[in-house]
Amino acid sequence: MSNDTFKTPLYLPSQAAAETEATITKWNVSAGDAFKKGQILGEIESAKTAFDFEAPCDGTVVKMLSVEGDTISFEEPVMEIETSDVSMKNAIPAAQAANAAPPKAAPRPSAGSTASAAATVRAVNILGLGGYLPDRVVTNKELLREFPAVTEEYIFGVTGIRERRWAKDGEKPSDMAFQASSEAIRRSGLDPKDIGGIIVSTETPDVSMPSTACILQDMLGLRGIPSFDLKAACSGWLYGLSVAKGLILAGVADDILVTGVEMQSQLLDKTDMGTYFLFGDGAGAAVVSGKRPGHAMREAILKADSKGLPLAKRSVPGYKIPIGLENLNPWIRLDGHALFRFATGGFATIIQDVVAKSGWNPQDVGWVVPHQANARILKAAAQKSGVPFERFYINIDRVGNTSSASIPLAMLDLQKDLRPGDRLVLCSVGAGVTIAALTIEW
């Protein structure tokens, strides 16, 4: 074997003549790993057999070109390696060697081929979650100083909230986003430099421009990657996950950070009982990957219904009330009764639809992780959805409504109780009215 090394693609060994593809069930190596000839690089399944993928030479993995769960043609390389074994210079996939005829144009897929085509779509997974809640705990008792005739139990009965977290003076949305994002990256086992894109969902950015995502990029010490804010109110984090999946499948990046952050405590009118007790501050984040194993993102549904435009609104952007604009009604305003009806129906319908789209039955759902809007809304939605309320994960009593940060914060609390294979439904209804749902197989 020569001492000169070179890079070359590595293919799966072809099996029976009639087989054209196989599925990678497990990788035993990753980028940077050295291996010896005969070492088991991975475990593979084809239509007729399961086999170990043995290294044909000594070498080092330069780049993984496929992930666990991918279904790969025998004519596609699964990894790039570096080796000094000259016998590998002319290595070609067995399927290509057996087929000397010129390649023909692939036929257009028919409607009946949709399932098989979907099986070859690149898997996209959630790797790690992170969250941040401010230190300051604000109880109902503290807020009821503005409403001496109202009791703590009444507020809890109407909202399901006993306390929430509010940011301290001088704290910014980007500060909270940085804390949650750093934890998500750390839990993913990645280095910040591995992140290939940043999406921040927020209705309370630091400033109108630049985006909070670009500010977060700077705080993480990153440059040269796509970073942008997304506005979909309480549904924003789920919108962000779906956009991240699309960017990964489009080849824009392999690992994308999706962060939801809201600082609503300074946007509440102390005379408005409909909003004053509902909202808290916080941030939640996840790293989404197209090349690393994790918790599989399955089906998503995103909607918006403009009939709900008047139900939840605010006229002035940002996380503070600008001086001199008090007369422009800059506070968060909700049409409580109408929003209750709209949200209850929206939650129930989107849960039913995404469960059916995933090929599941309601009894298959281990947990529903909803946007923590209001406990009464979620109880009413559970009655209509077909999934018992006992399987709805609720933490609104401790954190309040943190808008687009609420689902990742709830998942962070829940994950200690999750087991591999658990089926989750994430769902939200927000201002717009935006509606979103995503299924995940843990």
- Which tokens go with 201? 């969902």
Q: How confident is the model at residue 102, as a pLDDT?
A: 38
Of the residues 234, 295, 374, 427, which is catalytic? 234
Strands 34-35 and 59-64: antiparallel
Of the residues 57, 125, 295, 371, which is catalytic? 371
Q: How confident is the model at residue 12, as a pLDDT?
A: 87
| pLDDT greater than 80 at residue 141 | yes
The Cα–Cα gap between 15 and 115 comes to: 23
Higher-pLDDT residue of 369 and 92 is 369
Q: How confident is the model at residue 18, as a pLDDT?
A: 56
Query: What is the per-residue pLDDT across 19-44, written as a single tens digit (0 to 9) for each?
Result: 678 888 889 999 899 999 989 998 88
The Cα–Cα gap between 291 and 248 comes to: 9
Mean pLDDT of 356-380: 89
| pLDDT greater than 80 at residue 425 | yes
Q: How confident is the model at residue 98, as a pLDDT?
A: 38
What single-letter amino acid sits at 390? E
Catalytic: 295? no
| pLDDT greater than 80 at residue 48 | no
Q: What is the value of pTM for the model shown?
A: 0.69
Delimiting residues of CATH 2.40.50.100 domain(s) in the chain: 6-99
The Cα–Cα gap between 138 and 136 comes to: 6
Q: How confident is the model at residue 287, as a pLDDT?
A: 98
Number of residues assigned to the chain: 442
The reply to whether omega before 354 is within 30° of 0 (cis) is: no
Strands 255-262 and 59-64: unpaired
| pLDDT greater than 90 at residue 304 | no
- Does an H or E element contain 227, and which? strand 227-230
Catalytic: 401? yes
Of the residues 57, 125, 401, 427, which is catalytic? 401
| Closest C-alpha to 319, from 237, 436, 405, 238 | 405
Catalytic: 57? no
The Cα–Cα gap between 28 and 241 comes to: 28
Query: What is the per-residue pLDDT across 58-113, written as a single tens digit (0 to 9) for each?
Result: 999 999 988 887 888 888 888 999 999 887 876 555 444 334 333 333 334 344 44
Q: Which fold has domain 125-441?
A: Peroxisomal Thiolase; Chain A, domain 1 (3.40.47)
| pLDDT greater than 80 at residue 403 | yes
Higher-pLDDT residue of 231 and 116 is 231
Delimiting residues of CATH 3.40.47.10 domain(s) in the chain: 125-441
User: Which residues, at least 6 apart from 153, have a Cβ–Cβ distance to it below 8 Å?
Assistant: none
Query: What is the per-residue pLDDT across 143-184, written as a single tens digit (0 to 9) for each?
Result: 998 888 899 999 999 889 999 999 999 999 999 999 999 999
Higher-pLDDT residue of 304 and 238 is 238
Query: What is the per-residue pLDDT across 200-223, written as a single tens digit (0 to 9) for each?
Result: 999 999 988 899 999 999 999 999
Query: What is the per-residue pLDDT across 233-275, written as a single tens digit (0 to 9) for each?
Result: 899 999 999 999 999 999 999 999 999 999 989 888 888 877 8
Q: How confident is the model at residue 181, as a pLDDT?
A: 98
CATH class of the domain whose range is 6-99: mainly beta
Q: How confident is the model at residue 233, as a pLDDT?
A: 87
Candidate from 5-19, 160-174, 294-308 with smallest mean pLDDT? 5-19
Q: How confident is the model at residue 193, as a pLDDT?
A: 95
Q: How confident is the model at residue 248, as a pLDDT?
A: 96
Query: What is the per-residue pLDDT across 312-360, written as a single tens digit (0 to 9) for each?
Result: 656 566 666 666 555 566 666 665 555 556 566 677 888 999 999 999 9
| pLDDT greater than 70 at residue 115 | no
Mean pLDDT of the chain: 84
| Closest C-alpha to 132, from 85, 193, 90, 183 | 183
